[in-house]
C-alpha cells in the first residue's frame, strides 16, 4: 500500500511537471508570437487609432466592417482563428493586406502568432 501510494505520488508529480512544461512552451511561443505580431501585424491590426485621422487602424477597421460586431475587430480579441486560417490569410493576403513571403515570416512564426492570439484573446 505504501509503495502504491508513492508510485501514485510520483506519477502525479510527473503529470504536474509535464503540464508545467507544456504551459511553459506555450508561453514561450506566445511571447515570440507577440513580438512578431507587434512588428508585422499590429501596424494594421492593433487596437489603436489610425494615423490618417481614422479612429481605427486599417485591418481592424476592415474587420469591423466585415463582421459588423458578430466577431471582434481586433485580431488580439479573436478566439476563432486557427494557425491554419491565419497562415492562409498571411500567405495569400486579402484586399489591403499584403501577402507575406516565407523569407519575411516563417511558418513557425505564424504558429507563434496563432499562439499569441490564443493567449491574448483568453486574457482580455
Spatial distance between the Cα atoms of 15 and 76, rounded to a whole number of angstroms: 31
Gyration radius of the chain's alpha carbons: 19
What's the grid cell of residue 85? Answer: 486560417
Q: Which residue among 46, 59, 72, 74 contacts ligand HEC (CB under 6 A)?
A: 59
In the region spanning residues 37 to 56, those forming contacts with ligand HEC, defined by CB under 6 A, are 40-41, 43-45
87, 73 contact by CB (below 8 A): no
Site residue total, ligand HEC (CB under 6 A): 23
Q: Does 120 bind ligand HEC (CB under 6 A)?
A: no
Instruction: Please report how close the Cβ of residue 77 comes to ligand HEC at its closest, in angstroms.
Output: 12
Instruction: Please report how close the Cβ of residue 53 comes to ligand HEC at its closest, in angstroms.
Output: 17
Amino acid at each position: 500500500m505504501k509503495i502504491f501510494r508513492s508510485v501514485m505520488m510520483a506519477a502525479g508529480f510527473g503529470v504536474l511537471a509535464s503540464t508545467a512544461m507544456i504551459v511553459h512552451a506555450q508561453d514561450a511561443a506566445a511571447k515570440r508570437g507577440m513580438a512578431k505580431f507587434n512588428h508585422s501585424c499590429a501596424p494594421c491590426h492593433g487596437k489603436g487609432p489610425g494615423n490618417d485621422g481614422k479612429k481605427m487602424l486599417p485591418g481592424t477597421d476592415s474587420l469591423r466592417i466585415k463582421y459588423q460586431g458578430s466577431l471582434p475587430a481586433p485580431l488580439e480579441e479573436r478566439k476563432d482563428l486557427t494557425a491554419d486560417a491565419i497562415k492562409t490569410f498571411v500567405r495569400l493576403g486579402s484586399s489591403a493586406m499584403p501577402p507575406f513571403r516565407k523569407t519575411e515570416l516563417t511558418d513557425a512564426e505564424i504558429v507563434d502568432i496563432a499562439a499569441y492570439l490564443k493567449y491574448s484573446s483568453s486574457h482580455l
